[in-house]
Structure 1
Amino acid sequence: MSVPLKPRMTGPALVVDDLRVPQPSPAPITRPQRVAIVHDWCPSFRGGERVLAELCAMFPNSEVFTLFDFFSDEIKKRHFPNVVFHTSPANKLPGVRKYYRGLFFACPFLIEQFDVTGFDAVVSSSAAFARGVLTRPDQPHVSYIHSPIRYAWDEQFSYLQQGKLGFGPVGLLYRYLLHGLRTWDTRTAHGPDVMLANSSFVRSRIKRVYGRDATVVHPPVDLDTFTMSTEKDDYYITASFMAPYKRTDLVIEAFNAMPDRRLLVVGEGQQSAALRNMAGPNIEFSGFLPQEDYVRAVARARALVFAGCEDFGIALAEAQACGTPLIAFGRGGARDIVRPLGTDNPTGLLFKQQTVGSLTDAVMRFEREGSAITAQACAENAQRFSAERFRREVAQAFDAVWASHQAD
């Protein structure tokens, strides 16, 4: 009795018993000619805007759609040469730079007014609204998620408390507007074909808030800009935009409790004046530094200290590229970046609670055991966040979505 041959798959060829039947190679993917890149807003060139610049470089014929564009000509020339920017009508409001964040309640409507339906594909870079842009049913849409809208979801109560918005008329109005923002955010959550998360922490938030799986693609670090230094001075450094959730106040309180240790605070923001008023004489403020001075300050620091819960934390990855260890709160993107003491080739340590005691204990432990952390290990760790790796992983996700649409 004859027995039919049973095929089995072993990779690129189909094997029938001992007979190998070559399979045709997949057709090469032809990238689309015109891509719309949608980004929330462009107030300054920070981590999210670095991602935007990389996306523009990946898709040479792309055009950017953003609610507000406050970039200087110098930034445009350096990072976005020949890129066309489209903005919302609200970008022309008098003095809008001072209050654009307060227009959050209008941003879902404004983002939906961008007509990107004439483009071959859409890539959104979203920490709030860009993901909700309206697309055609057959239009590929890849969304890079920096975070679900923080102040509308798990950090709503923190933001309301910091703004001293209780249950008075203004507080109730804000709560109602945030409720409406959550409704819009969940309604538009299934628009993109694929979501990419900038960290494992954001991936878990996407799953919880939107019920969708996402692939982690860490944002890019300009490794060529940050050079490693093995020579360290006796000061610690913290660097961030001085917003409440960054918890620079906690770092200052901790170093007030350690007056024999120096701290350099880099950055500006809405809390600048209050933070300066609370700082002791061992704490120095530099404001924003020119790039060269900033790199030098981070590279020479004993360690970079960060007490916030960041979605990723580009400043932490940059410090690693400088060969500088990290002392960071052990929640959020820091867990993707830091290789903690007690593991192979450690690059820093994580503390468990956002308290002065937990942070000061971490500094003490770092001074006892930090000799196990080398500048070389930190710099090698930073290679995981290169721009080349970012482009490759985004391209893989985009090509898969594009090929899927082409096959339909």
Structure 2
Amino acid sequence: MTNRPRVAIAHDYLTQRGGAERVVLALSRAFPEAPIYTTIYDPEGTFPDFADREIVTSPLSRIPALRHDHRRALPLLAPVSSRLRVDADVTVASSSGWAHGFATTGRTLVYCHNPARWLYQADEYLGDAGRRSPTRLALGVLTTPLRRWDRRAAARADRYLANSGVVRERVARAYGIEADVVPPPPGLDSSGPQEAHPELAAWADRPFWLVVSRLLPYKNVDVALEAFRGRPGERLVVVGAGPERDRLVAAAPDNVRIVSGVSDAELRWIYAHAGGLVAPSFEDFGLTPLEANAWGVPVVALRAGGYLDTVVEGRSGVFFDEPTPAAVGAALDRAQQHTWSEGALRRHADGFGEVGFAARIRAEVDALLEGRDVSSPGPAAS
């Protein structure tokens, strides 16, 4: 019997439903026999697809409070990650802070969503949290030792990939590592089943604007809410969950709805009824614009971060230059005056397909096993 090389997948924690978790699912489809190693796994908090995979967790996952809020585990994650042993010939580490530090027995390929935001972009990560907030105080004590740990972990990797040009620059600044850019694929299949969302059924009579985002300070969802406060004749739907939810719900005007715990079938229905996507945050990779484009939906996006990789002005969307309600409103006006081609929007999204992504990652794994270099300056082919 042939002994095939063993491939494993690593990810920081599986407690949310976001773009990084969709990338892990894409990696799992590329390597269907690979176990997934993670510090904390919350089946109820993340995508149900993970239930069909072999998930290996750290002892932290036994603590319900940490499964429901992984941020509480911050002081413990570095030592726990260092002790989480991955036994494989190649480990593909999907990382934004911890998985690149797992102890691996073979070669390590890091797919970096962003160097740890709480270490290198703390002000964005914390937002308006006060100087005496528990998270800010904890980071004040832990930042120096965590940066040492983080840089040692990065130096152990055999190969680094970045999900966007801005992340490639951050990897170079944080670690002194040259990383190739391999954009992730849109994680939501537009051809899948749809299910009407019960809270939005009354809004299905005409297209609404849409924000799909975790509800965190740096996501600027409050900016979008304020932009629509001044546009009472239009509607905005926000899909997402996170620590900012209660504050945003309390602040939302009557023409805004915020829904959480949305299934993929419901999200497809929401995209199908959207007239446009608002993307106001500083993203590492602009994933939601590609999801919207796959439905023939144009995008209004902040001219920053990962959106520079995925939004083409006038072809797939329009940009605004600062995250303010006035700038968002002006961009909404420009988008509504533009004539969009649904076919062109869909073709743009197709250029970031999962087939090409999987082929590139498999080629990277094979190269590590064979000692070859497959470095390339551009994105994966579709």
Give TM-score scaled by structure 1 length: 0.81
Q: Paired residue for 1:91, among 61, 65, 69?
A: 61
Contact 1:226 1:321 (8 Å CA) reproduced: no
**CA gap 1:348/1:185 in 2 versus in 1, 3 angstroms:** same
Query: Given the superposition, is the C-alpha separation of residues 31 and 390 from structure 1 closer, same or farther in structure 2, using an over 3 Å criterion?
Result: farther
Instruction: Find the counterpart in structure 2 of residue 289 from structure 1.
Output: 262
Counting aligned pairs with the same residue, the percent is: 30
Tell me which amino acid in the other structure corresponds to 2:54: V
Matched residue type, 2:232: P
Measure how far apart 1:309 and its partner are. Answer: 0.8
The whole-number CA distance in structure 2 between the counterparts of 1:364 and 1:161 is: 28
**Preserved CA contact (<8 Å) 1:232 1:301:** no
Q: Using the TM superposition, give the Cα deviation of residue 157 of structure 1 relative to its aligned residue in structure 2, in angstroms.
A: 2.2
| Pair 1:202 & 2:170 matched | no
Residue 397 of structure 1 aligns with which residue? 364
Conserved? CA contact 2:17–2:46, under 8 Å: no
Q: For residues 331 and 31 of structure 1, what CA distance do their matches in structure 2 show? A: 46
2-structure distance, mates of 1:129, 1:272 = 25
Q: In 2 relative to 1, CA 306–143 (structure 1 residues): closer, same or farther, beyond 3 Å?
A: same
CA positional deviation for 1:288: 3.7
Partner secondary structure for residue 385 of structure 1: coil
Q: 1:297 to 1:42 in 2, by over 3 A?
A: same
Post-superposition shift, 1:321?
A: 0.5
Which among 103, 110, 125 is matched to residue 80 of structure 2?
110
- Unaligned runs of at least 5 residues, structure 1: 1-29
* Structure 2 stretches lacking a partner, 5+ long: 193-203, 374-382
Q: Secondary structure at the match of 1:218?
A: coil
Q: Is residue 333 from structure 1 mapped to residue 306 from structure 2 by the alignment?
A: yes
Matched residue, 1:47: 19
Displacement of 1:54 after TM fit?
2.4
Going from structure 1 to structure 2, the CA distance change for 1:161 and 1:219 (only over 3 Å counts) comes to closer
CA distances 1:28-67 after superposition (whole Å, capped 9, x unpaired): xx99531222211101343222222222232343222110
What is the 5 A alignment of 1:358-373? 358-368=327-337, 370-371=338-339, 373=340
Task: Quote how far apart the aligned CAs of 1:295 are.
Answer: 1.5
Is the 8 Å Cα contact of residues 267 and 287 (structure 1) preserved in structure 2? yes
Matched, 1:263 2:236: yes
The one-letter code matched in structure 2 to 1:158 is: E
Residue 105 and residue 32 in structure 1: after superposition, are their counterparts in 2 closer, same or farther (change >3 A)?
farther
What's the CA shift for 1:74?
10
Q: Map 1:130-209 to 2 at 5 A.
A: 130-136=99-105, 139-154=106-121, 156-166=122-132, 171-209=136-174
Query: Which residue identity does 1:104 align to in structure 2?
Result: L
The structure whose Rg is larger is 1
